Amino acid sequence: MTDADVRHVVSALVVDKPGTLNRVASLLRARSFNIESLTVGTTHEPGRSRMTIVIRGDDAHTHQVLAQLNRLIEVLEVVDLTDASRFELELALVECSVPADAAARRAIKDAMATAGGELLTAGPDGWRLRLAAAPAQIEIALAALRGHGLRNLVRAGSVAMAASTPSQIGEKP
Amino acid sequence: MASLPIPAAQPGGDPGSEVAPRIGARALCEGLVARGVTTIFGYPGGTVLPIYDVLREFPLRHILVRHEQGAAHAADGFSRVTGEVGVAMATSGPGAINLITGLATAMMDSVPMVAITGNVPRALLGRDAFQETDIVGIALPVTKYAALVTDPDEVPLAIAEAFEIASTGRPGPVLLDFPKDVLQIETSAPHPGPGDLRLPGLLRPVRGDVPEADELAEMIAAAERPLILAGHGVQIAGATELLREVAERSEIPVAHTLLGIGNMDETHRLSLGYAGMHGWMHVNKAIQHCDLLIGIGMRYDDRITGKTSTFAPRARIVHVDVDRSEIGKNVRADLGIVADAGDLLAALGRRLPQSPRRDAWWAELEAWREVSLQRSWHGSGAWRQGRLSADYVVEQIGEATGHTATLASDVGQNQMWAARYFGFRRPFAHVSSGGLGTMGYGVPAAMGAAVGRPEHETWAITGDGGFQMTMQELATLVAEQIPVKIAVLNNHKLGMIRQWQEIIYEGNFHSAELFGPDLVRLCEAYGMPGFRATTPEEVVDCIAAARAAPGPALIDFQLDDAQNVYPMMLPGKGLSDMVEGGS
């Protein structure tokens, strides 16, 4: 990674078939991209899945790779949402020790306020919360929790949607 | 030949209606026939035996190779000379894996091909059954598409889609993997018509006029020293005539990539020669001094550009390719055009006025060409001093065949000598592993090329290293009487390895000397004519004797020791600083 590296949020519409994820991941690996997050789920259309891929790279290199991604038979549409107005959301499940003092309680409360949080359980073995917010907000919340008993973390990765119709990397007629 | 069992199942029939049930293997063969396949290069094994059990019922010639790598290269060679989709077949596990080198070779050079592999029955998939392997997983990065066909009813559609994918847009290899029971179970699924394919993700080039040709025509009008650099894409698009017309109309000299050789008759006044690491010095010089470089159907790969920061420093660079992802991948393009090479050349032809001759530019080019020809080994005429040199051998094969033979080369020094000295006159004649650089490619590729275009005399030019990698295909050539003439440029060395070790590794030779068999006696063992030349005087007679043999023949050319290929661009250097050498 270099200083020119930018966090790219890419949305790809793909064919829902065995091997599609393999092919997409394999292409990114072959070009030495580390995948920061990749989510995949079904869409409103049968047989179509939507991937949200977060990778870091300089713009030119990343766009060239996205053009290669668009070339795959399994890929129907690729959109780089990095510079687009978009909704981006991530889900995180967090486990903390039972708060030891008022500061710890405040940290958990602040974290939940920052990142759309909800307390799931507050048992004697620990507290579990759910965060749902933009990844940057999640980061802020997690920073607040570190040092106050954060002991387990499961993140779902970003899902993103353009706020208006974005331009594609090439057209598939 | 028995008639087709289900003639109604051809494309253009009623795609919606079911047909009489037949097993998956028959549906597969019908699909191949419907797609115009005539020849399969293959090797049987347990999981593809259901196909071999019915193969006789179909008008399909099966050529039994001696190693699956040979099948893949032969299908590749067949495809490169015919423009059709070559077909290779192998069984599961080791058989399928042996295809991989050939698939990667085809992928790098945009060769349309369909590989059919068997796999273990569906119930055993994933259980490490005998000869099971995840060939789709292995093939993914070296194919345009690879898939496991898990339903007998999907067989007709899978075959049709495989051919569509392989041959549409930028061509490439496709692998289809069939579990054995999918081939054995009956299906009533009909063969799809043209409208039944479900390939929304397949990039189909927009055909027709190319509006960007306006801007390119303006750039050409403004240029004083324009140069076209034409690649394999021109031949794939069937656009060699259009290229010649554009070159003549605009008076632009044409350089070629290694796989672009044959885009123009090399004796044409506007054909400059081939460029790159071992390309002609004057061609590379032209690239470095031109003010407009028009790359058409090529990739600006590292063997052409050298260090990209010093590549074509005076030029505005244009890049035309059917594959959008190639534009700007290796070299910045001042103008990138995503188009079929033929469409672009046609569009350009309509826009360009007849240009007067570019005398000043040509005067420079001619001066460089004269020096370039003199300096090379070729010009030094070593053969006149009684030394058997590779350039002389290749040139004489060119002369004897009227420069119209199909020539498949292997990889290494022999490949560069073949490219430099044969004197190609027509497209689809030069068959070479340009991108992957696959040693062992030459003989099996020539085999496929000879089957695909039997009307053209076919030669394989190979070194003693590459030859020994796939020489088991001599048996195939003899058994099938495929009349390939093999010229082994035998220096008892891995010549290009030796050359690098001499020039780059300060003469620290390691593993460069190569023991090999007595090739004439090897031919005797296989039952085919073998000849040997050790002096220049014997070259012409040996070539004549090999040509006179009705079937395959081999000539062992015992080369003068340690001949290098010059000029040479050193790794990490640019086109402007190339190494010359006399011998």
What are the boundaries of each domain within chain A? 6-84, 87-160
Question: What's the confidence (pLDDT) of residue A157?
Answer: 95
The fourth-level CATH superfamily of domain A87-160 is ACT-like. Chain A, domain 2 (3.30.70.1150)
In the structure, what pLDDT confidence band is assigned to residue B490 with cuts at 50, 70 and 90? very high
Residue B583 forms part of a structural domain: no
Give the integer Cα–Cα distance in Å for B200 and A71.
Answer: 11
Tell me, yes or no, whether B360 and B383 share the same domain.
no
CATH value at residue B183: 3.40.50.970
Size of interface A-B (CB pairs under 8 A): 53
* Structure-token match 């000295």, residue found: B421
For B567-575, what is the mean pLDDT?
91
Beta bridge partners of B295: B229, B319
Domain ranges, residue B323: 213-369
Options B107, B469, B496, B578, the catalytic residue? B496
Same domain, B63 and B128: yes
B334 and B185 housed in the same domain:
no
How confident is the model over B11-21, as a mean pLDDT?
66
Average pLDDT over residues B176-182: 98
**pLDDT at position B386:** 81
User: Mean pLDDT across the stretch B430-437?
Assistant: 98
Same-domain pairing of B383 and B532: yes
Report d(CA B318, CA B322) in Å as an integer: 13
Residues of chain A with pLDDT below 70 are 1-3, 171, 173
Interface of B with A (CB under 8 A): 136-137, 140-141, 144-148, 165, 170, 199-204, 206, 323-325, 327-329, 338
Q: Dump pLDDT digits (tens) for A88-123.
A: 999 999 999 999 999 999 999 999 999 999 999 999
The answer to whether residue B422 sits within a structural domain is yes
Q: Which long-range CB contacts under 8 A does A41-49 form with residues at least 24 apart?
A: A41/A159, A42/A16, A43/A13, A47/A15, A47/A16, A48/A13, A48/A14, A48/A15, A48/A16, A48/A76, A49/A13, A49/A14, A49/A15, A49/A16, A49/A20
Q: Choose the final residue of a domain: B323, B351, B369.
A: B369
Question: Can you give the pLDDT at residue A60?
Answer: 86
Give domain A6-84's CATH superfamily.
Answer: ACT domain (3.30.70.260)
Task: Test A70 with B203 for CB contact under 8 angstroms.
Answer: yes
**Pick from B287-301, B470-484, B490-504, B561-575: least confident:** B561-575
Q: Which residues contact B311 (CB under 8 A, 6 or more apart)?
A: B287, B288, B300, B305, B331, B574, B575
Task: Tell me the per-residue pLDDT of B331-384, one tens digit each, with 9 for 90 and over.
Answer: 999 999 999 999 999 999 999 999 999 999 999 999 999 988 877 655 556 666
Q: Are residues B363 and B388 in the same domain?
A: no
Residues B346 and B408 in one domain: no
- Kindly provide the ipTM of the predicted complex, given to two decimals: 0.88
Percent of chain B with pLDDT over 90: 90
- Whether residue B358 sits in one domain with residue B464: no
Please tell me whether residues B34 and B70 are part of one structural domain.
Answer: yes
Nearest residue to A25 via CA among A36, B439, B442: A36
Q: Which of A141-150, B65-74, B140-149, B466-475 has the lowest mean pLDDT?
A: A141-150
Q: Residues with Cβ < 8 Å from B269, sequence gap 6 or more?
A: none
Catalytic, out of B10, B131, B184, B501: B131
Nearest to B201 among A22, A64, A76 (CB): A76
> Do the domains at A6-84 and A87-160 have one common CATH topology?
yes
**Pair (B74, B117) in one structural domain:** yes
Select from B369, B396, B421 the last residue of a domain.
B369
Which strands form A86-96's sheet, in the order they lie side by side? A118-123, A126-133, A86-96, A150-162
* Model confidence at B300: pLDDT above 70: yes
Confidence (pTM):
0.94
Grade residue B9 by pLDDT with cuts at 50, 70 and 90: very low
Cα–Cα–Cα angle for A79, A81, A85, rounded to 5 degrees: 130
Residue B573 maps to a domain: no
* Residue B510 is assigned to a structural domain of this protein: yes
Judge whether residue B16 has pLDDT over 70: no
Q: Each residue of B398-417: pLDDT tens digit?
A: 999 999 999 999 999 999 99
**In this predicted structure, what is the pLDDT of residue B513?**
96
In terms of domains, do B381 and B363 share one? no
Token pair for residue B341? 């090479």
Q: What is the pLDDT of residue B384?
A: 67
**Is B329 in the active site?**
no
> Residue B47 falls within a domain, yes or no?
yes
Does residue B1 sit within a domain?
no
Q: Is B501 a catalytic residue?
A: no
User: A17-21, B59-63, B320-324, B545-549 — which is least confidently predicted?
Assistant: A17-21
pLDDT digits (tens, 9 = 90+) for B266-277: 999 999 999 999
Verify that B246 and B390 share a domain, yes or no: no
The predicted model gives B541-563 an average pLDDT of: 94
Residue where a domain stops, chosen among B330, B345, B369 = B369
**A48 interfaces chain B, CB cutoff of 8 Å:** no
